[in-house]
Amino acid sequence: MHVDAKRYLCLIDPKYWSDLSPASKHSLEQQGGVFSESEAEAFISQPFAAEAVRLRRYDDLAKVPAKQVPNLAHYNVHLQQVALRA
């Protein structure tokens, strides 16, 4: 649903398209281009489509060159807590 979320966002948010890199715009065209209104409606009505759109936006926010982040050990405590709940 990641590609479809991109196609959807390009339709509903004109700034989304303008913020895409040239490579991402090219790949979008190869993946079917921006959704039409009817394609967007069909996509967003699917289970988990809203979550896919949210995940796409999170993924975009993570694309910050040279951003400093904690190492994996920092996240191990959180991962273990989630695993214990499951």
Of 51, 22, 16, 52, the closest CA to residue 34 belongs to 16
pTM for the whole thing? 0.76
Sign of CA dihedral 60, 62, 64, 66: negative
Structure tokens, 45: 């009505």
CA distance 55 to 4: 12
- Residue ranges of the chain whose pLDDT lies below 70: none
CA distance 10 to 33: 9
Map out the domains of the chain with their CATH numbers.
2-84 (1.10.3210.10)
What's the confidence (pLDDT) of residue 40?
98
What's the confidence (pLDDT) of residue 16?
96
